[in-house]
Each structure stands twice: as structure tokens, then as C-alpha cells.
Structure 1
Amino acid sequence: MGREEQVEEREVLDSIFPDEITDISETEYRISIKLDLPEDDSDEASEPPTIVLYVRYPEAYPDEAPILDLSPPQHAAPPHPHFAVSADKVRLLKGLEDAIQENLGMAMVFTLVTTLKEEAEQLVADRRAAAAKAREELILAAEREENKKFHGTPVTPETFMRWREGFLKEMEEKQRREEEEKLAELKKAKVKEPVRLTGKQLWECGLAGKVDEGEGEDDDGIPTEQVEKIKIEA
């Protein structure tokens, strides 16, 4: 009875997967399963991956589980960024165990193909979402770094006190420089030219006519020592 069920199932599968199924022997065949994936900008240059499911009937199938294996397609295909049969094989086969146990005693290959396809497509979707989240985190991190350039140091009591101390020191230094400049200007303003007396002033001071010609006179006939004294007193 097992062999009859196997032949019947194989005929049904041939009508469902006319271009995807290939016989290897009377009890063994392979089915190519192309994943249906929504378009994604990050995978724009990648074709949807294909899984080849190998099925071999043990003598007691379907009361006994079929012998399954997975491989990439025989023709060379560009690698997909989120899926590789060689890397995901163990995970995908393990994902079929519950379906096998639930369908023992019944033809189950179509159910296994459907389950395998859904598991693989969900795996790709999860990885796409994780990659998109990672890209978003990188963009946000870059934006945060860029925004730091436009944000000052947060004001806290400690940062305010440091700023205040620096500001007061700067103002004190500025005031000191200004006072020094003003003092220097005042000193310059107090320096005067020597006082030169008129003839009348000399007469009033009792200096006129008291100088011997040619002795200790300046150009105006005034005794030099007397002029120096007058300059100082002035």
C-alpha cells in the first residue's frame, strides 16, 4: 500500500510542479522552489534565491518520514545578501520536523514544500528588517554626531560657575588694562615745557640788571642758575 500512495503522490506533484520536479529514480526526485520575495531597494541587483528539495521515499512512506535534503540550484546563481542554502540548510530542515510529525500516515510532500518556502521567505524578510534597522541606526548615529556640532555644552550649576569665574577674571583684567592706560595718559599730560619769563616778569622778580655780561648768562642775558631756579619754582 505504501508504494501505491507514493506513485499517486508523485503524479499529483507532477501536475502541481510540472517544470520544477525532476525524477532521480522511482523513489527519489527533486523539486526546485523559487522564493517569492517583495521588492527591496537593498536587494535590487539580486535575484530571488532558489532552493532544491531532494525527496526520497523509504519503503514505509507515508507512515514513515521521507528522507529530505536541500541544496542550491545546479546552475550558478549570484549570491543573495540575506539567504544561502548552504548556511541555512540545517535551520530549514529542522523547521520541517513539526510538519512531518503532524502529517505522518498521509501524503505530505506538497505540505513540506509549502512550509519550506514560507520558512525561507520569512527568514529573508527577518534579515531584511534587521539590516534595515541596522542601517537606520547608523544614519541616526551619524545625525547625532553631526548635531553635536551645533549644540553647546549643557548648562549645569557647575558649568555656569566655571563660566562665571572665567568671565569675572576677564572683566577684571580688562579693567586693569584700561586703568593703566588712563594713568599713563595722565602722566604724559602733566609733563610741561620749561617756563620762559618775559622781561617784565624778570624785572618783577628782581633779576633784571643783576647779571654781569658774559658770565653764566643764557642767550637772553639771564643768569643760568637763576633761570633754573625760576623754572623749578614755576
Structure 2
Amino acid sequence: MGREEQIEEREVLDSIFPDEITDVSETQYRISITLDIPDDEANEPPTMLLDVQYPEDYPDKEPHLDLLPPQNAASTHPLFSVSDDRAELLDGLRETVQENLGMAMVFTLVSALKEAAEQLIISRKQDEAKRHEEVLLAAEREENKKFHGTMVTPETFVKWREGFLKEMEEERARQEEERLAELKKARIKEPVRLTGRQLWERGLVGKGEEDAEDDGDAPVEEVERLKVEA
């Protein structure tokens, strides 16, 4: 019963994958799977080989599966590697295998494997695009700093406020010191002394006194005292 189902499935697969399937033995074959990656004209579509080997009781028992890189591959895809992604992709088929025990499942496995591998590459492309966008945004933020200065945050505002208050306090102290120095200087300032001519012009002495004191200086206080006594 098992062998008959295996032969029947193999014939169906040959009609679906006429150019992609290659026999290894009566119970083992390989199917070449080419992945379709949208918006990826710069790279060749990646390809992988699903190796299928029937156990005697297949499909009641799960088939032996392996994933191989294509022979003589011209190039590799930068976001996909059969050797690196093999374990993850095969592990992802376990649930599908269990759900299809008792039925011919290879076509279902090929479809699930192809979809999983394509989604893996698409996710990596999205992550790569996101990283590239983050780099561009970081460069743009650095460029904008030249025009907007440092961004104000609660921490930078507190630091600025402390520095501003300290600067204002130092300025007030400096002004107070200057004011006290001016007051002190005013208290010890010497009395104004006038020449004899200046005393005569102001009517503080007579003409004779001007000739005697023309070249000398006399304190205003002394002149006032002499006028009172006279």
C-alpha cells in the first residue's frame, strides 16, 4: 500500500516539476526550488534543492528530508544561504509534516518551504532597509544640530539654570564691590583747593590779596574763616 502511494505521488510531482525534479534512486529524488523575491532585480533568484527519501511506510511515516545548495551555482544571494539557513527551514517544516501524515505531502512541503525561504529573505531586506534608514536619520540629526543647536532637555535646562544663577550672583557681587569702593573713595577725598585768582574771581578776597596769593593755593575753609573774623 505504501509503495503504491509513493509511485503515484512521484508521477504527479513529475507532471508539476518536469524540469525541477531529479531521481537519485527509486525512493529518493531532489526538487529544485527557485525563490521569487520582489523588487530584487540586482540579484539572481536564489535556488535550493529539497532532497526527499521515502521510508517504507510513507506516507504514514514522515519522509526523510534534507536541504542542499544547487550544484555549480553561478552566484549566491547576499541575504540567503542554504548552508546557514538549512536548519531553520527544515525545523519550520515539522509542523506541516505532522499535519499531513497519512497523505501525500511533498507538494505541500515544497510550497511551505518556498514560502518560508522567501519570507526569510523579505524580512532580512526590511531589516536592512530599516538599518539604512536609521543611519540616514542619524546623519540628518547630526547635520541639523549645526542649525538648531543643542536640543533642550530637562537635564540640560537644569544645568543651564544653575550656571545662569551662579553667573548672576557673581555679577551682583562684583557690582556691590565696585559700589563700596566708590563710597570709600568719596569719604577720603581731599578738599578742593583754589588758586588766588580763582578766590578773587569768586569774590572771596580783595584785589591785594589776589596779587599775594596768585601763584599759591588756599583752602576754601581758611578763606571763609578769615572773612568771618574780619
Normalising by structure 1, report the TM-score: 0.68
**How far does residue 111 in structure 1 lie from its aligned partner after superposition?**
0.6
**What whole-Å deviation, never above 9, does each CA across 1:113-163 have from its counterpart, x for those lacking one?**
001001111111222222222233333333334444423655745523422
- Counterpart for residue 104 of structure 1: 101
CA distance in 2, matches of 1:165, 1:99: 72
Name whichever structure is richer in helix by fraction.
2
Distance change >3 Å, CA 158–CA 102, structure 1 → 2: closer
- Counterpart for residue 223 of structure 2: none
Three-state SS of the structure 1 residue aligned to 2:121 is helix
**How far does residue 87 in structure 1 lie from its aligned partner after superposition?**
0.9
CA distance in 2, matches of 1:163, 1:18: 81
Q: Does 1:62 align with 2:63?
A: no
Three-state SS of the structure 2 residue aligned to 1:74 is coil
The answer for unaligned runs of 5 or more in structure 2 is 186-191, 198-206, 220-230
Distance change >3 Å, CA 151–CA 17, structure 1 → 2: same
The letter for the 2-side match of 1:87 is: D
CA distance in 1, matches of 2:152, 2:73: 57
CA distance in 1, matches of 2:169, 2:55: 92
CA distance in 2, matches of 1:9, 1:174: 100
- Counterpart for residue 9 of structure 1: 9
Three-state SS of the structure 2 residue aligned to 1:53 is strand
Q: Does 1:26 align with 2:26?
A: yes
CA distance in 2, matches of 1:127, 1:206: 109
Distance change >3 Å, CA 39–CA 169, structure 1 → 2: same
Q: Please give the root-mean-square deviation of Cα atoms over the aligned residues, in Å.
A: 3.8
Within the candidate set 199, 208, 215, 1:230 is matched to: 215
- Counterpart for residue 94 of structure 1: 91
- Counterpart for residue 114 of structure 1: 111
Distance change >3 Å, CA 166–CA 76, structure 1 → 2: same
Three-state SS of the structure 1 residue aligned to 2:87 is helix
CA distance in 2, matches of 1:154, 1:108: 61
Three-state SS of the structure 1 residue aligned to 2:62 is coil
Distance change >3 Å, CA 157–CA 122, structure 1 → 2: closer
- Pairs aligned (count): 202
The answer for unaligned runs of 5 or more in structure 1 is 184-189, 196-202, 208-225
Q: Does 1:139 align with 2:136?
A: yes
- Counterpart for residue 221 of structure 1: none
- Counterpart for residue 163 of structure 2: 162
CA distance in 1, matches of 2:210, 2:150: 82
Distance change >3 Å, CA 154–CA 65, structure 1 → 2: closer
The letter for the 1-side match of 2:116 is: E
Distance change >3 Å, CA 69–CA 206, structure 1 → 2: closer
Three-state SS of the structure 1 residue aligned to 2:215 is helix
CA distance in 2, matches of 1:92, 1:158: 54
CA distance in 2, matches of 1:97, 1:206: 129
> In percent, how many aligned pairs have the same letter?
54
CA distance in 2, matches of 1:169, 1:47: 72
Deviates more, 1:141-150 or 1:123-132: 141-150
The letter for the 2-side match of 1:32 is: S
